[in-house]
Structure 1
């Protein structure tokens, strides 16, 4: 989802209105499409008709492709919109004019300067969405017949298996804390202003 969002936002931010409108349209479609319906469509095309990927199960890495794409598309739509807004705001800042006056190409300005400023909200949102994916994939696991934490939690709650429920909750809490710790560290790497503030304190 992050890769799709970065490519879509970097290529279309501040570019021709038609290109930007096309990207915005697919993002809105991805956001408004129910993930289980998208999963069924992907299964119909790539598993039943083209027979490229397996229909169900978890026997190989190829069986991960369709579930991952199903989950990634809606998330990528949100991330791309947030990143594009940040990029377009950053491209209007005075430091972009300075970078261009030094002879940097448009791609270098976008990737080396504007992207670093626009990536902060992208990282925060990506971390939060990653945490929500831990238990929010029950429907996708059911569509693709994959064993996962979501279906395990649902079965444990239904059967009142308290040790399993507690284990899943503790594991999810640890994963969320770890994810946000990594996100905070990446903020320091990407945004030099935060390192300056930290050093001053």
Structure 2
């Protein structure tokens, strides 16, 4: 499984978008090629953005689960008769989720920056296109507004990620 994750993480978003367009729009005619029509026009851009980020989070979560299952609490839970599934869901997942949630907050900035290429490949209107046009036209108020909006979204997502980490791991709640 780690080989597929590595390939998905390493695949450039614009190339993945072109491949998805070729297969699902040109050959199978399942999704529209471009535009911002109905919900079907969102599927390929969302998948294009989600595959690299999702696979990176899957790698981190898998490594965290493997590390958590070798901790002393896992041995104690197994010795008390807890099944493997219950151990993974009740105990190990909470420990493994902390790095994945932290990384997801950090990846929010990359997601905001990576949309320009995806919007271009799928010919979708969006904030990335607006930012690119504003920079090209030297429209400083629009650029400043988009930077402030991006910073606000990034701050809110990271604050929510920190709160989720506090909920997932009670050890983080106590002051050092």
TM-score, length-scaled by structure 1: 0.84
CA RMSD of aligned residues (A): 1.2
Look up the match of 1:99. Answer: 77
Aligned-partner Cα distance in 2 for 1:105–1:163: 58
Q: 2:59 aligns with which of 55, 61, 81?
A: 81
Q: What are the ranges of 5 or more consecutive residues in structure 2 without an aligned counterpart? A: none
Deviation at 1:76, TM superposition (A): 1.8
1:152 aligns with 2:130: yes
Runs of 4+ in structure 1 over 3 Å off: none
Q: What are the ranges of 5 or more consecutive residues in structure 1 without an aligned counterpart? A: 1-22
Deviation at 1:28, TM superposition (A): 1.3
Deviation at 1:78, TM superposition (A): 1.5
1:112 aligns with 2:106: no
SS at match of 1:44: helix
**Alignment deviations for residues 19-66 of structure 1 (CA, whole Å, 9 cap, x no partner):** xxxx11111111222111111111111111111111111111111111
Look up the match of 2:101. Answer: 123
1:132 aligns with 2:110: yes
Aligned-partner Cα distance in 2 for 1:183–1:135: 19
**Alignment deviations for residues 144-195 of structure 1 (CA, whole Å, 9 cap, x no partner):** 0111111111110000011110110111111111111101110111111122
Deviation at 1:135, TM superposition (A): 2.5
Deviation at 1:102, TM superposition (A): 2.4
Aligned-partner Cα distance in 2 for 1:154–1:48: 28
Deviation at 1:77, TM superposition (A): 2.1
Cα contact 1:87–1:118 (8 A) shared by 2: yes
Cα contact 1:55–1:144 (8 A) shared by 2: yes
Aligned-partner Cα distance in 2 for 1:36–1:129: 18
Look up the match of 2:151. Answer: 173
Look up the match of 2:30. Answer: 52
Aligned-partner Cα distance in 2 for 1:100–1:106: 8
